[in-house]
Amino acid sequence: MEYPVSANARYTGLIQHYGDRLPIEDPASAVCLGEGRTPLIRTYNLPRRLGFEGEIYLKFEGVNPTGSFKDRGMTVAVTKAFDEGARAVVCASTGNTAASAAAYAARAGMQAFVIIPEGKIALGKLSQAMMHGAKVIQLRGNFDEAMAIVRVLVRDLPITLVNSINPNRLQGQKTAAFEVVEDLGRAPDYHAIPVGNAGNITAYWMGYKEYGYEGWCAPPVMVGFQSTGSAPIVEGRHIDQPDTVATAIRIGHPASWEGALDVQKESRGWFDAVTDEDILQAQRLLASTDGVFCEPASAASVAGIVSEIQAGHIPQGSNVVCTLTGHGLKDPDTAIRQSEQPFTVDATEAAVEEVIQGFL
Ligand code: F0G
């Protein structure tokens, strides 16, 4: 008897899937964990709540192997580093890059060094970097200071830098745009993304342009959202003491600033800022009404789209995609802090029923 073979059995990761579009000579040698092919989830309750007669989709990158979009770039960057004979990788990180670098380095048998701002990375991300065997160096400083240090460090040491200034990272990340076009059968009218270093928005735009040149889509208008406490691109100046509950995008000196401005110009898009309160509200709204749990930074894209729709900047009938960059489980502290707390009762049926009756 022959068993049916699902497509999953043959899918190893996005290097094999998009091999001819990535700078990898031998896709069979890829360091991969089955990243990519993330769902594009249509929301129903969100547009209804907003009175929006268009379509809002969530590109949920939280279901990548380490729980964020970073895996798309990391599979390419670590495969390249391995092929070039590197034995170690390093990154500065607000957490997700660290978790991803640690996992892919572990798989390749390489050492990862991750430099993070002490006390400002979400618990889930720290636990990942530690479990995957990275050497974790906590800085008494912020992400921008960590980034400045690693840029100089790699000039003198035999270590490959795997931050998004490594062009292989953006090559991998552009594949998310391919998937959106393949799922929708077109590009959306608007694509909203949370912005920290602006690497990801630059990568999506590369992807949309690549498919655009080949006639697969007309590229979308790109809209990037920062948090008001760390909105250097929106304010047009470096922020030396950035602050936001969305620690993933607590960045005041974005590494891909130029790229961001090109995206804005070429796509006729814009950047705007959303408050921490709006970010948390959007995170709760998505989790509690549409069943999708993303981390705070990711919710910036939805908070932004909500405010743009309310301000009339996104016309009725538009087709919108918001990228949710990381999973909500990355930051359990922030989730628990803003949620209704559990009811603690005696172990009797009556006590449990009393709580339930209160809500029926
Ligand atoms: N969303 C999440 C969840 C992130 O972790 C990041 C960046 C971004 C959005 C912004 O992406 O920097 O390409 O504009 N995190 C980096 C890190 C800085 O170290 O994990 P970007």
Any idea what the CATH number is for the domain that residue 128 is in? 3.40.50.1100
Same-domain check for residues 240 and 161: no
Same-domain check for residues 194 and 46: yes
Q: Please tell me the distance between residue 325's alpha carbon and the centre of ligand 1 in angstroms.
A: 8
Number of domains in the chain: 2
- On whether residue 12 sits in a domain, the answer given is no
CA pair distance 4, 173, nearest whole angstrom: 32
Which pair of tokens denotes residue 356?
């339930």
Same-domain check for residues 155 and 199: no
Contact criterion met (CB below 8 Å) for 160 and 89: yes
Question: In ligand 1, which atom is closest to the CA atom of 194?
Answer: 9
Q: Domain ends where: 165, 182, 204?
A: 165
Q: Please tell me the distance between residue 249's alpha carbon and the centre of ligand 1 in angstroms.
A: 6
Same-domain check for residues 185 and 302: yes
Same-domain check for residues 228 and 301: yes
Same-domain check for residues 175 and 57: yes
Q: Please tell me the distance between residue 343's alpha carbon and the centre of ligand 1 in angstroms.
A: 35
- On whether residue 359 sits in a domain, the answer given is no
- On whether residue 16 sits in a domain, the answer given is no
CA pair distance 48, 54, nearest whole angstrom: 9
Same-domain check for residues 76 and 202: no
Q: Indicate which residue's Cα is closest to atom 19 of ligand 1.
A: 93
- On whether residue 357 sits in a domain, the answer given is no
What pLDDT sits at residue 195? Answer: 98
From residue 258, how far is each of 169, 198, 203, 261 by CA, in Å? 17, 9, 13, 5
Q: Indicate which residue's Cα is closest to atom 10 of ligand 1.
A: 196
What pLDDT sits at residue 87? Answer: 94
What pLDDT sits at residue 28? Answer: 87
Listed in order, strand segments (DSSP E) in 160-283 are 160-161, 190-194, 221-227, 270-274
CA pair distance 96, 222, nearest whole angstrom: 23
Q: Please tell me the distance between residue 248's alpha carbon and the centre of ligand 1 in angstroms.
A: 5
Question: In ligand 1, which atom is closest to the CA atom of 203?
Answer: 13
From residue 66, how far is each of 71, 228, 276, 285, 348 by CA, in Å? 7, 28, 25, 24, 40
Q: Please tell me the distance between residue 195's alpha carbon and the centre of ligand 1 in angstroms.
A: 7
Which pair of tokens denotes residue 133?
């065997």
What is the end-to-end Cα distance of the chain in Å, rounded? 52
Same-domain check for residues 252 and 221: yes
Which residues of the chain are modeled with pLDDT < 70?
7-9
Question: In ligand 1, which atom is closest to the CA atom of 164?
Answer: 13
Q: Domain ends where: 141, 165, 189?
A: 165
Same-domain check for residues 112 and 260: no
Q: Please tell me the distance between residue 199's alpha carbon and the centre of ligand 1 in angstroms.
A: 8
Q: Which residue out of 147, 169, 197, 245 has the highest number of ligand 1 atoms within 8 Å of its CB and is therefore the one to mutate?
A: 197
- On whether residue 149 sits in a domain, the answer given is yes
Same-domain check for residues 187 and 198: yes
Same-domain check for residues 269 and 150: no
- On whether residue 253 sits in a domain, the answer given is yes
Range of the domain at 130: 69-165
Which pair of tokens denotes residue 319?
């087709």
Q: Please tell me the distance between residue 96's alpha carbon and the centre of ligand 1 in angstroms.
A: 7
- Report the helix count and the strand count for the chain, using DSSP H and E: 15, 10
Q: Domain ends where: 128, 145, 165?
A: 165
Q: Which residue out of 169, 245, 325, 329 has the highest number of ligand 1 atoms within 8 Å of its CB and is therefore the one to mutate?
A: 325
| Segment (H or E) for 265 | helix 257-267
- On whether residue 344 sits in a domain, the answer given is no
What pLDDT sits at residue 12? Answer: 84
Same-domain check for residues 226 and 200: yes
What pLDDT sits at residue 5? Answer: 72
What pLDDT sits at residue 2? Answer: 76
Question: In ligand 1, which atom is closest to the CA atom of 97?
Answer: 20
CA pair distance 305, 339, nearest whole angstrom: 23
- On whether residue 116 sits in a domain, the answer given is yes
DSSP string for residues in 8-48: GGT---HHHHTGGGTT-S-GGG----S-----EEEPSHHHH
Residues in the ligand 1 pocket, defined by CB under 6 Å: 68, 70, 93-97, 164, 194-200, 248-249, 295, 297-298, 325-326
From residue 272, how far is each of 106, 153, 230, 232, 234 by CA, in Å? 38, 33, 11, 10, 6
From residue 225, how far is each of 74, 238, 269, 316 by CA, in Å? 23, 16, 11, 20
